[in-house]
Structure formats: C-alpha cells, structure tokens
Amino acid sequence: MKPPYYAVIFVSVRTEGDNGYGVTADRMEELVKDIPGYLGMDHARDSNSITICYWDSLEAIDTWKQNMEHKEAQRMGREKWYASYKLKICKVERDYSFEK
C-alpha cells in the first residue's frame, strides 16, 4: 500500500472481565478481512489497547462501520466491554519502513 490511504486508530481501555469480548473480537478480525478496501491491521495491548486498521478509502471505512454484525459489536462495546475509547479517522500522507 502506498500513501495516500486511510488509518482508523482505536485506543481503548477495557472494563473488568471478558464478558464475551474475546469471541467477538476474533469474529470481527475474521469479518473485516472480507470488506473490500481493507488493507491490514496493527495491534498492541497492555493496560490499554491500540488497534489500527488500514483502508484504501473513506467509503471502505464506512462500509465496515455500517456492517450489521460490527454494529452489534459496537453496541456491546459501549454497553459492556469498554471503560473508554478514542477513535480517529486519519489520512496517511507519508510512510517509511525499516528492516534490519
């Protein structure tokens, strides 16, 4: 993927316990791969969690946002799984990579 493309940054703090989160998270990771325009993901987690999904257009991001299963997961997220989160829609203007 070459810029410009899009990144959706999701930074979250979970509530206590799993409450069905793990199964849904695995399912979403499967499901998102089938959305046209999905380019990949970076993820890391300690006391908070950062997931960054990459997309080829704002339309692709919106298609994922409107996906019925994903909408239900978003609702559950606000109801049960997240103490707080931040979501940022970004245009990637430049990128570099390094490999030893």
Q: List residues near a second copy by CB under 8 A.
A: 7, 9, 11, 15, 42-50, 52, 78, 82-100
| Of residues 34 and 61, the one with the C-beta less far from a second copy | 61
DSSP class of residue 68 equals: H
8 A C-beta contact, residue 56 and residue 91:
no
- For residue 33, the minimal CB distance to a second copy (Å) is 19
Strand, coil or helix: 40: strand
Closest CA to 82 of 55, 49, 54, 52: 49
Give 21 or 82: the residue with its C-beta nearer to a second copy.
Answer: 82
For the CB of residue 5, give the shortest distance to a second copy in the complex, in Å. 9
